[in-house]
């Protein structure tokens, strides 16, 4: 399959590399890593074993990539104002678009530009970060849950899941992508924001009883917001939050992406992870006071970036 | 009047110096500043004009001070576990105790140890900080509102107010000290905590619309908690919060004491300003979710101090 990767940060590079290694044909839209990768390929440092891809098809503009069968979107959502322009040159008659970005609003943005039928979304449980140019670090996990933006289980989504599976990436299909996105937010909203705000990893956050309680309260606000969104089935509140916290207790001082973004003075993905969920909840009559507060506190700090 | 000052930080030194200059007899319990003040007295840098007191009666232990007519308490509340032991040697048969400390719980602590009748409380609107040993900086304001712990207007409280007035310290009596304390919390709870958490002065906090809105919401939580405390008259919600915000808009990049405490790695006054108000509100059936969250976020950071 001809695949174009837009947004070749840690996530785009890692999944693109895994797919290329399994025999797919990948074209990467590169910026920072273009020169290094053209010179010496891509080195993937992975918990599952390092590997090196000596040749990658890297391009500086989406026009050079041209139409593909599948666009894989890994762009950080704070750059979403460029998303449609970056994707458009890759879209041919039959092109599908799979966004693996964080939070809400990404499928909608793509659907408005290219039609809902082309769009799939995936939730990536990936712990990775960029290293030196030409290198990427896979620190753990990697699982993807993907589904149709328009809902339901399609043959296309099963084929994509198979493709990832064959590339060594655990992947399952979901028939309610919207629910899957909200389920991920149950984790992202408390842990991304609190870790960025306080500069504390998840183990620190959970080892302090008042913050552990706050994480739980924030999760329940997310679940209340989610369950007002006409999901096919509601998220089971206490059970789901307990499971998320237990799951996070197993992580050893994991630093969520937003904590790293702030530490490295990058913008935060506040729109996709906070503003849009808050707005959708408010439209459904659900107030999420702690999340609104967390969003305000994070937004204030954004003024400090150079 | 023979006055003993317990807790000779910026506040205790400033008010003690003003009273001594006006002719009162003051004995200071000193620690950090003892040597410097014994050598060369106290220098007050004040927006109203600097002055120097060449001789101050400074003591290293409360036993050396002995009984006085009035104990003036300026101790930071995070040292309240020492308060009763520090005050006891100063208490004679007729001694009154006036605490100018922040937040709630201070009068109660003193009343439990020395009897409610001795106790008065004052709310100090003072912008000051310590300089080098032997110096104190008065940056603005200084007004005191004081009243009887047991309520009502007493001859004693009027006399104390007159004494401060004659010393150049604007001072008024209040017949509902508890209400006056809660009114001060309407300011302290949002501005102290948010400034310490985000390392932003009040002007920064108010210039960012979402934080300005958060300040207002937190003020309304405090007012709801206050108005469940059997005050003689309720605090008028919208009007009072609007006045507090307007008042703060006039301050030019003011740094609340808690912001300075955190920047200088001192403990924060979390018990008096957050924990006790939260507990009193909860007992009255009032939930203050944003304040509870702010308290948790501040408390987590306390683990970082050396």
Mean pLDDT of A208-232: 96
Please give, one letter per residue, the 3-state secondary structure of chain B. CEEEEECCCHHHHHHHHHHHHCCCEEEEECCCCHHHHHHHCEEEEECCCCEEECCCEEECCHHHHCCEEEEEECCCHHHHHHHHHHHHHHEEEEEEEEECCCCCCHHHHHHHHHCHHHEEEEEEEEEEEECCCCEEEEEEEEEEEEEECCCCCCHHHHHHHHHHHHCCCCEEECCCHHHHHHHHHHHHHHHHHHHHHHCCCHHHHHHCHHHHHHHHHHHHHHHHHHCCCCCCCCCCHHHHHHHHHHHHHCCCCCCCHHHHHHHCCCCCCHHHHHHHHHHHHHHCCCCCHHHHHHHHHHHHHHHHCC
What is the token pair recorded at A185? Answer: 């937010």
Structure tokens at A25: 């044909």
pLDDT for position B68: 98
B184 tagged catalytic: yes
Question: Would you state the torsion angle of the CA atoms of residues B83, B84, B89, B91, taken in this order, to the nearest 10 degrees?
Answer: 110
Q: How many CB atoms lie within 10 A of CB A169?
A: 19
pLDDT per residue as tens digits for the range B200-226? 999 999 999 999 999 999 999 999 999
pLDDT in the model for residue B129: 85
User: How deeply is A124 buried, as exposed, middle or buried, from its count of CB atoms within 10 A (0-12, 13-18, 19+)?
Assistant: buried
Which of A1, A29, A30, A26 is closest to A16 using CA atoms? A26
Q: Residue A98 in contact with residue A122, Cβ under 8 Å?
A: yes
Residue A305 — very low, low, confident or very high, per pLDDT cuts 50/70/90? low
CA distance B271 to chain A (A): 14
Q: Indicate whether B67 pLDDT > 90.
A: yes
Average pLDDT over residues A242-259: 92
The angle formed by the CA atoms of residues B303, B305 and B306, to the nearest 5 degrees, is: 120
Burial of B173 (0-12, 13-18, 19+ CB in 10 A): buried
Collapse the DSSP code of A133 into the 3-class scheme (helix H, G, I; strand E, B; otherwise coil) and give the result.
coil
pLDDT at A235 over 90: yes
Share of chain A above pLDDT 90, in %: 92
pLDDT at position B66, please?
A: 97
Residue A13: both structure tokens together: 């590079």
pLDDT, one tens digit per residue, over A152-196 is: 999 999 999 999 999 999 999 999 999 999 999 999 999 999 999
The complex's ipTM works out to 0.84
3-state secondary structure of A137: strand
Q: What are phi and psi of A204, to 5 degrees?
A: -65, -45
> Among A162, A5, A110, which residue's Cα sits nearest to residue A68?
A5
Question: What angle in degrees, to the nearest 10, is found between the helix axes of A177-198 and A209-226?
Answer: 150
- Angle formed by the axes of helices B10-21 and B155-166, to 10°? 80
Element (DSSP H or E) covering residue A145 = strand A135-148
Indicate yes or no: CB of A198 within 8 angstroms of CB of B301.
yes
Burial class of residue A150 (count of CB atoms within 10 Å of its CB; 0-12, 13-18, 19+): middle
Residue B48 neighbours by CB distance under 10 Å = 11
Span of A60-64, A200-204, B33-37, B125-129 with lowest mean pLDDT = B125-129
Q: Do residues A291 and A221 make contact, with C-beta atoms less than 8 angstroms apart?
A: yes
All CATH 1.10.1040.10 domain ranges of chain A, comma separated, are: 178-305
b/e string for B115-143 if b means 16 or more Cβ within 10 A?
eeebbbbbbbebbbbbeeebbbbbeeebe
For residue B298, the number of C-alpha atoms closer than 13 Å in the C-beta half-sphere is: 31
A259 vs B contacts (CB less than 8 Å): none
Confidence at residue B237, expressed as pLDDT on a 0 to 100 scale: 86
Q: What pairing do the DSSP bridges indicate for beta strands B57-59 and B25-29? A: parallel
Residue B123 phi/psi, 5-degree rounding, is -105, 120
In angstroms, the CA A180 to CA A121 distance is 10
Inter-chain CB proximity B200 and A295 less than 8 Å: no
Q: How many whole angstroms separate alpha carbon A158 and alpha carbon A160?
A: 5
**Residue showing tokens 């309240």:** B80
- 3-state SS assignment for residue A124: strand
Looking at chain A, the domain(s) classified CATH 3.40.50.720 span: 2-174
Give the tens place of pLDDT for each residue, B146-203: 999 999 999 999 999 999 999 999 999 999 999 999 999 999 999 999 999 999 999 9
Q: What average pLDDT score do residues B248-264 get?
A: 91
Hey, are the CB atoms on B300 and A197 less than 8 Å from each other? Answer: no
> Quick one: pLDDT band at residue B127, thresholds 50, 70, 90?
confident
Q: Which residues of B touch A200 (CB under 8 A)?
A: 300
Closest CA to A204 of A139, A296, A214, B260: A214
DSSP summary character for residue A267: P
Work out the angle between the directed axes of helices A289-302 and B177-198 (0-180°, nearest 10).
Answer: 50
Q: Is the model's pLDDT at A130 over the cut of 90?
A: no
CB atoms A208 and B299 under 8 Å: yes
In angstroms, what is the C-alpha Rg of chain B?
Answer: 19
Q: Which of residues 174 through 233 in chain B touch A, CB cutoff 8 A?
A: 194, 197-198, 200, 204-205, 208, 210-211, 213-214, 217
Contact A179, A151 (CB under 8 A): no
Q: Give B217 to chain A, closest Cα distance, Å.
A: 10
- Tell me which chain A residues have a C-beta less than 8 angstroms from the C-beta of B204: 300, 303
CB contact set of B241 (below 8 Å; sequence gap of 6+): B186, B216, B219, B220, B223
Q: Which residues of A touch B197 (CB under 8 A)?
A: 197, 297
Cβ atoms of residues A190 and A153 within 8 Å: no
pLDDT band at A66 (very low <50, low <70, confident <90, very high): very high
Choosing from B55, B117, B179, B184, the catalytic residue is B184
Least confident of A35-39, A129-133, A202-206: A129-133
Would you say A60 and A30 are in contact if contact means Cβ atoms under 8 Å apart?
A: yes
If DSSP codes are grouped into helix, strand and coil, which group holds residue A107? helix
pLDDT at A223: 98
pLDDT at B64 over 80: yes
Helices (H) and strands (E) in chain A, counts: 14, 10
Instruction: Please give the torsion angle defined by the CA atoms of residues A148, A276, A195 and A224, in that order, rounded to the nearest 10 degrees.
Output: -80
For domain A178-305, give the CATH number. Answer: 1.10.1040.10
Residues of B in contact with A204 (CB under 8 A): 300
Yes or no: say if A77 and A88 are a contact pair by the CB < 8 Å rule.
no
B36 is written with which tokens? 């410097």
Q: What is the CA radius of gyration of chain A?
A: 19
DSSP string covering A191-251: HHHHHHHHT--HHHHHHSHHHHHHHHHHHHHHHHHHTTS--SS---HHHHHHHHHHHHHTS
The CATH code of domain B2-174 reads 3.40.50.720
Catalytic residue among A184, A200, A232, A306: A184
Inter-chain CB proximity B290 and A295 less than 8 Å? no
């Amino acid at each position: 399959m001809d695949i174009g990767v837009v947004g070749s940060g840690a996530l785009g590079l890692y999944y693109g590399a895994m797919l290329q290694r399994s025999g797919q044909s990948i074209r990467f839209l590169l910026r920072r890593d273009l020169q290094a990768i053209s010179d010496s390929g891509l080195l993937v440092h992975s918990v599952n074993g390092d590997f090196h891809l000596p040749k990658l098809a890297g391009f500086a503009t989406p026009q050079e990539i041209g139409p593909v069968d599948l666009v894989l979107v890994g762009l950080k959502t704070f750059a979403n104002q460029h998303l449609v322009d970056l994707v458009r040159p890759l879209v041919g008659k039959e092109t599908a678009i799979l966004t693996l970005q964080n939070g809400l609003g990404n499928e909608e943005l793509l659907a408005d530009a290219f039609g809902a039928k082309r769009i799939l979304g995936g939730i990536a449980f990936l712990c990775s970060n960029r290293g030196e140019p030409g290198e990427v670090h896979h620190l753990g996990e990697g699982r993807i849950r993907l589904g149709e933006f328009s809902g339901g289980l399609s043959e296309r989504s099963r084929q994509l899941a198979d493709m990832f599976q064959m590339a060594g990436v655990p992947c399952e299909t979901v028939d309610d992508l919207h629910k899957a996105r909200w389920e991920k937010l149950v984790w992202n909203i408390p842990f991304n924001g609190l870790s960025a705000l306080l500069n504390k990893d998840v183990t620190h956050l959970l080892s302090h009883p008042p913050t552990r309680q706050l994480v739980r309260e924030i999760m329940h606000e997310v679940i209340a917001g989610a369950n007002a969104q006409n999901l096919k089935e509601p998220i089971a509140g206490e059970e789901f939050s307990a499971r998320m916290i237990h799951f996070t207790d197993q992580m050893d001082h994991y630093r969520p992406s937003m904590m790293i973004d702030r530490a490295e003075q990058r913008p935060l993905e506040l729109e996709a992870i906070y503003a849009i969920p808050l707005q959708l909840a408010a439209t459904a009559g659900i107030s999420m006071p702690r999340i609104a507060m967390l969003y305000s506190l994070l937004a204030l700090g954004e003024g400090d970036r150079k």
